[in-house]
Structure 1
Amino acid sequence: MTSKEEILNDLQLIFQDVFDDEDLVITNESNAEQIEDWDSLSHIRLVVAIEKRLNIKFSFAELRDLKNVGEMIDLIQGKIGVN
């Protein structure tokens, strides 16, 4: 898993699982305001699922400033050493 598209595809599956919605489609622009059930609890579940699936760890400071899925993908790429 190296490209932004591959990470987005992996995140797609994680989002569908966390939000229990196999029809949920995310894009780089997706954010908490656009996904009905994305609240603080589901955000924590989402972060934990991403960390576990990709074997990475986020700090609170890194997550605090993310505005959308695209920024999360950029952060993940930095964590797994992909430029």
Structure 2
Amino acid sequence: MKQAEILEKMQEVFDGVFLEKVAAKPDLSAADVEEWDSLMQISLVIAIEQKFRVRFRVGEVEAARNLGEFADLIAKRMEP
């Protein structure tokens, strides 16, 4: 699955988690969204793990600097 396809599916998660509209684009980071705090981060990771049927190790998600890198991590997890 390509990064653009993953970001489209991440948008569905964002629409269900955030109160305000947040566009899932590659350069987006938590610092860009006022509502995105540590509790929101946990909610997002859980929702994304469920949506993509993947699991992340502790620290993996935090190492991603933006959604593009996070999408790449999801793609890597989805490889057979």
TM-score (norm 1): 0.89
Using the TM superposition, give the Cα deviation of residue 20 of structure 1 relative to its aligned residue in structure 2, in angstroms.
Answer: 2.7
> CA separation in 2, counterparts of 1:43 and 1:75?
16
The unaligned stretches of length 5 or more in structure 2 are none
Give the number of the structure whose residues are more often helix, by fraction: 2
> CA separation in 1, counterparts of 2:13 and 2:28?
14
1:77 corresponds to: 75
> CA separation in 1, counterparts of 2:7 and 2:24?
8
Aligned length: 80
Q: Paired residue for 1:59, among 33, 57, 60?
A: 57
Q: CA RMSD in A?
A: 1.3
Using the TM superposition, give the Cα deviation of residue 19 of structure 1 relative to its aligned residue in structure 2, in angstroms.
Answer: 0.7
- Please give the secondary structure, in 2, of the residue aligned with 1:46: helix
TM-score (norm 2): 0.92
- Please give the secondary structure, in 2, of the residue aligned with 1:33: helix
Structure 1 outlier segments of 4+, above 2 Å:
none
User: What is the identity, as a one-letter code, of the residue corresponding to 2:78?
Assistant: I
